[in-house]
Amino acid sequence: MSYRRILPAAVLAAVCLTGCAKSEPQEYSTDLFAMDTYMQLKVWNTDDGASLDAAAARIAALENTFSVTIDGSDIARVNHAAGAPTQVSEDTALLIRKAQEIGDASGGALDISLYPVLCAWGFTTGEMHVPERSTLDALLGQVDYTKIGLDGNTVTLPADMEIDLGALAKGYTSDEVIRIFRESGAESAIVSLGGNVQALGSKPDGSKWKVGIVDPFSPSENMGVVEIENQAVITSGNYERYFEENGQKYWHILDKADGEPADNGLVSVTIIGDSGLQCDALSTALFVEGTQDAVAHWQRDGGFEMLLVTEDGRLLVTEGIADAFTNRSAMPMEVISHE
Ligand code: ADP
Ligand code: MG
């Protein structure tokens, strides 16, 4: 009786003496370029880097699924279906559903059917220019995400509508990378997809991750640092993809009210929360909503924290993240609370 009980423990001890020393997690990291974005992945694992390879493969697969420009992607097929129903992957259906949900929650500020308007500005080709007012007006007539049909994994667009998931695809991608790392047994990982950061657990030494938040008025510098674990930190700003014409600055986040770059008082919106997908969708939505509506949105729905920077240099931070944020800017921090 006692022999049978002791044996497994002894075997386990022997395995541990040889195996446990070898299985100290090692740091594996890679840089890659996908989704038009520079990405950095870092994971501490005991798997010879297998989870890192799996994550890179997943990113490539998601790019081939979501890209508007890659022939045969789900989105290219949906956009070219001329009104016919199109079968898409679970991933695409999930993102469209989330875009509808956050579209509704933001009063239509997030509208993935703005894509033809984005094209008119040249943001999709890199040949950026200010389009004619009449061009914008004509294209805006086709913008209305509420007309997107989604039944299970079948998507049906009006014949003249095109969509793009640029506002939320990277957030979902970082969710997926973190999921792959977690399921592989890792307890610590950090990814940055073009400055959008998501963490698994805490740093290997147990301390929190320190994530720099870009100063929208001086994008080569940080305005502060936020300490997080197991969270995503996702920013939409007017300083990222933009061009200048006649002394005016034009950026890639559009307002369907007029088809112009969203200019509702905010220069950057950082969302902090558990889901990269949710944070990414919200970062774009709240940027378009503007200062007052973004604050009202948070007070109404909650479930996330945020840092807003206004064009007149105010820094608004929600109460749930204020203690974790170290402000290194000259802007005084104003804490927003639930009224
Ligand atoms: P980034 O791509 O820099 O992380 P965002 O997450 O804010 O920034 O996404 C911006 C992208 O979302 C644009 O490049 C475009 O593809 C798309 N987009 C722009 N305006 C809107 C909008 N009002 N609603 C939905 N998608 C938008
Ligand atoms: Mg976004």
CA distances to 25, 121, 128, 195, 287 from 162, rounded to whole Å, are: 45, 15, 19, 27, 22
Asked if the structure places residue 41 within a domain, the reply is no
Q: Is 266 a domain residue?
A: yes
Task: Please give the residue range of the domain that contains residue 142.
Answer: 69-156
For residue 254, how far is its CA from the centre of ligand 1 (angstroms)? Answer: 8
CA of 1 to the centre of ligand 1 (A): 66
Instruction: Show pLDDT as tens, one digit a residue, over the chain (339 residues).
Output: 334 444 444 444 444 445 455 589 999 999 999 999 999 999 999 999 999 999 999 999 999 999 999 999 999 999 999 999 999 999 999 999 999 999 999 999 999 999 999 999 999 888 999 999 999 999 999 999 999 999 999 999 999 999 999 999 999 999 999 999 999 999 999 999 998 999 999 999 999 999 999 999 999 999 999 999 999 999 999 988 899 998 999 999 999 999 999 999 999 999 999 999 999 999 999 999 999 999 999 999 999 999 999 999 999 999 999 999 999 999 999 999 987
| Predicted model pTM | 0.93
Question: In the structure encoding, which two tokens stand for residue 33, read together?
Answer: 């370029």
Domain assignment of residue 200, yes or no = no
Residue 236 CB–ligand 1 contact under 6 Å: yes
C-beta of 124 in contact with ligand 1 (< 6 A): no
Q: Is the CB of 114 under 6 A from ligand 1?
A: yes
Q: Which listed ligand is nearest to 279 at the C-alpha?
A: 2
* Ligand 2 centroid from CA 175, angstroms: 13
The reply to whether 96 falls in a domain is yes
Q: Please count the structural domains in the chain.
A: 2
Task: Could you list the beta-strand ranges (E) of the chain.
Answer: 26-34, 37-45, 86-87, 149-151, 154-156, 188-193, 196-200, 209-214, 222-228, 232-237, 242-245, 248-251, 254-255, 260-261, 266-273, 305-310, 315-318, 325-327, 333-336
- CATH of residue 97's domain is 1.10.3980.10
Indicate whether 267 belongs to any domain. yes
